[in-house]
Amino acid sequence: MENWKNLIDYRDLVVSIVGIGRIGLPTALMISNEGFKTYGIDIDQILVEKINTGGGDPPIPYLTDEPELENLLKKALKSKKLKATKNFRDYAIQSDLIILCIPTTITEQKVPDYSDINQVLKEIGQLKESLVKKIIIFESTVGPNYIEKIAIPLIEQVSELKINQDFWVSSCPERANPGNIIESLLTIPRIIGASNNYARNIVSYFYKTVFKVPIFKVSNIRTANSVKLIENIFRVVNIAFANELSQLIRRLDIDYMEVLKGATTKYNFLIHYPGPGVGGPCLPSNPYYLIDDGYKVSFTPNLITVATEVNQRQPFHIIELIFEGLNKINKPIANTKIAILGISYKANVKDVQFSSVIPILSELKKNKAIIGLYDPYYKEEEVLGFKIEKNHEFIRKDFPIIVIHTDHNEFKSLNFKEFLCECKDLKVIVDCHNTYEYKEIPNKIYYIGVGRPMKYIEKENYK
Amino acid sequence: MENWKNLIDYRDLVVSIVGIGRIGLPTALMISNEGFKTYGIDIDQILVEKINTGGGDPPIPYLTDEPELENLLKKALKSKKLKATKNFRDYAIQSDLIILCIPTTITEQKVPDYSDINQVLKEIGQLKESLVKKIIIFESTVGPNYIEKIAIPLIEQVSELKINQDFWVSSCPERANPGNIIESLLTIPRIIGASNNYARNIVSYFYKTVFKVPIFKVSNIRTANSVKLIENIFRVVNIAFANELSQLIRRLDIDYMEVLKGATTKYNFLIHYPGPGVGGPCLPSNPYYLIDDGYKVSFTPNLITVATEVNQRQPFHIIELIFEGLNKINKPIANTKIAILGISYKANVKDVQFSSVIPILSELKKNKAIIGLYDPYYKEEEVLGFKIEKNHEFIRKDFPIIVIHTDHNEFKSLNFKEFLCECKDLKVIVDCHNTYEYKEIPNKIYYIGVGRPMKYIEKENYK
């Protein structure tokens, strides 16, 4: 341990980050800018080149929505502490820590897809005796038992080495909030479990040194993985609660947003807002890691399963709201121009992974609507099979209905709201995030906010 | 409004509280001690007498667990501002406000049981023209649409009067925390909706005057009722989440209490603890008021329905844990002495309403266990068909297994934990609220905390 402590204190420790995406890159930047020689390893040659040249053109998506990363990247490149590479073996071999930030996902059958991470584990195993005295740290989200029951045996088998004797494994799941990664890394405590106390102490000392956040050591690896899953599934369940109630409460002619405001005056209530569904790299897939481990011990968590279903069905509720609006103005869906504003899964990020816009677009297309798409993070790009408009001006012409899918700041601005008032053909707004207050609704427009009864104001009330 | 304001400012307003139970009595005490002539109306003659004589012997249950109420009651009786009575008509007729604190519940078929409150509404209607200029305030928890769709039409029909013309109705749902009612009444904001603005202003002014808490005015009665339900159902869902995970996580050989501690280090997580189920006057029944209104608009809230089921099944999980302990010590359940500690539905209150102990006792009885029951709030009383022990000394003799059902302070005390160490026959502790830390477990005892893998410590480790 003294030796490791010295390596860390004198910045002689060398670190490989495998997977330099939304989590891996910021992590690599923080580590290299703290003075550690850092290798960012990824199979994506274009990504590797972009990183080595300071961001690329067009820039990496998460440099678009987290612009402070660019400065950190420049700093890291200038100091020559960071190097991106496709070559796993040659750089991993030189590293003391191998940190895995490989995205994990689920298959169409909604079971965890560990194929990418398993592939990397095999490569780690193939380091053979070069793996001796290294620590492998999992930041990727995986099932509670995956590391202990699948990953470690796999490395042991391929390497013919022994855990805790030849090498160590630790779990330090990332807990960062996309769109706000650097602040997350610098503020949210880290949960650390490891294959033994020795490794746990080293990894804890390293993370404390780099990120300066509180370290919460847990008994073992499976506990660390569970913490990560439980905190995200808590959000899945509570967003499902909001989504389910948004549907029921509006049917009772009650405004769920008003109910929420009232409920937050109670000390033990925590607000979660309804929306068009859940998306992104974590919430749609995380429950299935736990459900999968549950199946293996014959325990199906019904509440969590239903919660995922409620969220998956929410985009179809948005379709219902669109139909409700179309009915009001006596328009069929076929051949009607429908503008979708925002395609990202959440506000102010450039990311359509599992975005609820995907099933919404698919339903609209099936019903032969004429779709216009705009998202400030995807101007003029082709995404999800659609060409994204350059700006929102296209709405002016013949669009009787708009759907505010993502609550990007642009759509919340007064300018934008004023623009909508100028759209003479606009008759219906479907607002998936209640971006509008009732009092802001342009006059003579059917306004349908998720969870809220439809509102129509005859007289001029918007300035 | 000026007239009402004067009546309130000069304490000339007269108030009837119908239902002087756990919520109604403290409310009546606060109002009368603020200087208003207050009538506490209840059908229970013994309760009425006890209140008029300062608490009775044996005292009213909620005077046992909330002893500060007794002083408030003495003060109110001394000032002659409070009078309890069985006579609804004669006292309601003299009152400006009729506040309904009638407990609502559900039937065995789990549908709302509004029979008691409907009966009172009929009596209110029978006041006929004497009802003119009175305001009826609902503090009872009811479905969102119950007051507007059932209660008001019923009063109108019986009285032959018209809402908002002859009388008014308001909803100001109680939000108090049993065991901590007075503090709740003095700190938690009140949600107020009414049949019109006029009534809402009067009721708001009155509650502000008496309780000095922030008032959150909502658009209508159904919104006020929804707020109350949603904040409690939020708890039902999150306790179900904890209960479900407590079962799954321990099967994965992980300690859910440790996971929870880790998760609370994330800024957007809110902890809820697993337990033996949910009980009491609110949580077990509140979801069904919303579910019932949902049925009427053809919308079943699946997540909420599953959450109620998860909580209802949790007592049977406790039975599983008991079996797990019995298996360890090779004892059958039949003819084995099992001590149950705590029968109340929650810590430090005297209340077994919908307590999870009820299904647990029923299962143990069915399996012919010999049951010993102790609860410091029910010493030597006969409750749920059992005679409660005088103190916990009975456990010393031949009880190989105890179940800590309610986490009353007494069971958390060092004294009590030391006592358990002295019980030589004790071999298994089933701890429904994780009252113990692992390090406190008496040696040579199989310890089973809800959500935690079984722990057995061979060597002496408890001092």
Beta-ladder partners of A100: A18, A138
Q: What is the DSSP string of A162-199?
A: -BTTTBEEEE------TT-HHHHHHHS-EEEEESSHHH
Are B255 and B211 found together in one domain?
Answer: no
Question: Count of alpha carbons within 13 Å of A189, Cβ hemisphere only?
Answer: 19
- Backbone region of residue A32 per phi and psi (left: phi > 0; alpha: psi in -120 to 50; beta: other values): alpha
Beta-ladder partners of A190: A215
Are B215 and B231 found together in one domain?
Answer: no
Residue A463 has pLDDT above 60, yes or no: no
Are B192 and B213 found together in one domain?
Answer: yes
Predicted confidence at residue B457, as pLDDT, reads: 82
| Residue in A closest to B270 by C-alpha | A270
Nearest to A219 by CA among B317, B256, B338, B120: B256
Give the pLDDT confidence of A221-244 residue by residue, as tens digits: 999 999 999 999 999 999 999 999
- What H or E segment, with its residue span, contains residue A98? strand A97-100
Q: How confident is the model at residue B449 (pLDDT cuts 50, 70, 90)?
A: very high
Alpha helices in B335-379 (DSSP H): 357-366
Of B187, B219, B251, which marks where a domain is finished?
A: B219
Do residues B104 and B285 touch, judged by C-beta distance below 8 A?
A: yes
Give the pLDDT confidence of A428-447 residue by residue, as tens digits: 999 999 999 888 888 899 99
| Percent of the residues in chain B that have a pLDDT greater than 70, as a whole number | 99
ipTM of this complex prediction, to 2 decimal places: 0.96
**Three-state DSSP class for B460?**
coil
Given an 8 Å threshold on Cβ–Cβ distance, is B304 in contact with A231? no
Are B130 and B274 found together in one domain?
Answer: no
Given an 8 Å threshold on Cβ–Cβ distance, is B262 in contact with A227? yes
| Percent of the residues in chain A that have a pLDDT greater than 70, as a whole number | 99
Are B295 and B205 found together in one domain?
Answer: no
Judging contacts by C-beta atoms under 8 Å, the chain A residues touching residue B179 are: none
Residue B141 has pLDDT above 70, yes or no: yes
Are A205 and A62 found together in one domain?
Answer: yes
Count CB neighbours of A385 within 10 A: 8
Q: Using CB atoms and an 8 Å cut-off, which of residues 299-358 of chain B contact chain A?
A: 299, 301-304, 306-307, 309-310
Q: How confident is the model at residue A459 (pLDDT cuts 50, 70, 90)?
A: low
Predicted confidence at residue A64, as pLDDT, reads: 84
B149: DSSP letter? I
Q: What is the mean pLDDT of residues B99-128?
A: 96
Residue A7 has pLDDT above 90, yes or no: yes
Instruction: Write the residue in B251, B255, B304 that is nearest to A299 by C-beta.
Output: B251
Q: How confident is the model at residue A457 (pLDDT cuts 50, 70, 90)?
A: confident
How far does CA A65 lie from the centroid of its chain? Answer: 13
Q: Which one-letter amino acid corresponds to residue B324?
A: E
Predicted confidence at residue B461, as pLDDT, reads: 47
Residue B4 has pLDDT above 60, yes or no: yes
Q: Which of B227, B235, B243, B309 to mutate to test the interface with A (most CBs of A within 10 A)?
A: B227
Question: Count of alpha carbons within 13 Å of B21, Cβ hemisphere only?
Answer: 16
Q: What is the mean pLDDT of residues A384-402?
A: 95
Q: How confident is the model at residue A55 (pLDDT cuts 50, 70, 90)?
A: confident
Q: Which of B226, B251, B317, B346 to mutate to test the interface with A (most CBs of A within 10 A)?
A: B226
Q: What is the mean pLDDT of residues A305-311?
A: 98
Is-above-0.95 flag for pTM?
yes
Predicted confidence at residue B411, as pLDDT, reads: 96
Q: Which of A213, A222, A234, A292 to mutate to test the interface with B (most CBs of B within 10 A)?
A: A234
Are A41 and A189 found together in one domain?
Answer: yes
| Residue in A closest to B259 by C-alpha | A227
Give the pLDDT confidence of B282-340 residue by residue, as tens digits: 999 999 999 999 999 999 999 999 999 999 999 999 999 999 999 999 999 999 999 99
Predicted confidence at residue A442, as pLDDT, reads: 82
Predicted confidence at residue A460, as pLDDT, reads: 55
Given an 8 Å threshold on Cβ–Cβ distance, is A230 in contact with B263? yes
Q: How many domains does chain B contain in total? A: 2
Cα→Cα distances B427→A26, A191, B187, B393, B442, Å: 53, 35, 45, 16, 10
| Peptide bond connecting B189 to the previous residue in cis, omega within 30 degrees of 0 | no
Q: What is the mean pLDDT of residues A292-303?
A: 97
Q: What is the mean pLDDT of residues A309-320?
A: 98
Instruction: Write the residue in A144, A265, A303 that is nearest to B214 by C-beta.
Output: A265
Instruction: Write the residue in B223, B262, B303 that is nearest to A307 by C-beta.
Output: B303
* Beta strand extents in B223-377 (DSSP E only): 337-341, 370-374
Do residues B1 and B201 touch, judged by C-beta distance below 8 A?
A: yes
Judging contacts by C-beta atoms under 8 Å, the chain B residues touching residue A262 are: 191, 216, 218, 223-224, 226-227
**Residue A257 in domain:** no
CATH (domain of A386) = 3.40.50.720
Are B298 and B422 found together in one domain?
Answer: yes
Q: What are phi and psi of B206, to 5 degrees?
A: -65, -50
Given an 8 Å threshold on Cβ–Cβ distance, is B251 in contact with A297? yes
Beta-ladder partners of B98: B16, B136
Count CB neighbours of A108 within 10 A: 6
CA distance A341 to A389: 10
| Residue in A closest to B291 by C-alpha | A248
Of B219, B237, B267, which marks where a domain is finished?
A: B219
Which burial class, exposed, middle or buried, applies to B6 when counting CB atoms under 10 A from its CB (0-12, 13-18, 19+)? Answer: exposed
Of B192, B219, B246, which marks where a domain is finished?
A: B219
Q: What are phi and psi of B371, to 5 degrees?
A: -100, 130
Are A208 and A313 found together in one domain?
Answer: no
Give the pLDDT confidence of B393-425 residue by residue, as tens digits: 999 989 999 999 999 999 999 999 999 999 999
CA distance A250 to B339: 49
Cα→Cα distances B153→A71, A393, B95, B149, Å: 67, 52, 21, 7
Q: How confident is the model at residue A461 (pLDDT cuts 50, 70, 90)?
A: very low
Are B363 and B388 found together in one domain?
Answer: yes
Are A204 and A336 found together in one domain?
Answer: no
Crossing angle (nearest 10°) for helices A221-251 and A302-328: 30
Given an 8 Å threshold on Cβ–Cβ distance, is A302 in contact with B303? no
Residue ranges making up the domain that contains B442:
227-463
Judging contacts by C-beta atoms under 8 Å, the chain A residues touching residue B297 are: 248, 251-252
Instruction: Write the residue in A227, A237, A266 that is nearest to B241 by C-beta.
Output: A237
| Residue in B closest to A233 by C-alpha | B241
Mean pLDDT, all residues of chain A? 96
Instruction: Write the residue in A188, A214, A303 that is nearest to B307 by C-beta.
Output: A303
**Residue A186 in domain:** yes
Across chain A, which distance is largest between two alpha carbons, in Å?
78
User: Cβ neighbours of residue B157 under 8 Å, at least 6 residues apart?
Assistant: B125
Structure tokens at B451: 């959500």
Judging contacts by C-beta atoms under 8 Å, the chain A residues touching residue B258 are: 218-219, 223
CA distance A204 to A208: 6
Instruction: Write the residue in B219, B259, B290 that is nearest to A226 by C-beta.
Output: B259
| Residue in A closest to B226 by C-alpha | A259
Given an 8 Å threshold on Cβ–Cβ distance, is B248 in contact with A214? no
Judging contacts by C-beta atoms under 8 Å, the chain B residues touching residue A245 are: 230, 301
Given an 8 Å threshold on Cβ–Cβ distance, is B252 in contact with A293? yes
Predicted confidence at residue B463, as pLDDT, reads: 42
Do residues A37 and A15 touch, judged by C-beta distance below 8 A?
A: yes
Given an 8 Å threshold on Cβ–Cβ distance, is B237 in contact with A237? yes
Q: Using CB atoms and an 8 Å cut-off, which of residues 182-241 of chain A contact chain B?
A: 187-189, 191, 214, 216, 218-220, 222-224, 226-227, 230-231, 233-235, 237-238, 240-241
- Residue identified by tokens 């013949």 is A398
User: Cβ of B263 under 8 Å from any chain A Cβ?
Assistant: yes
Are B240 and B388 found together in one domain?
Answer: yes
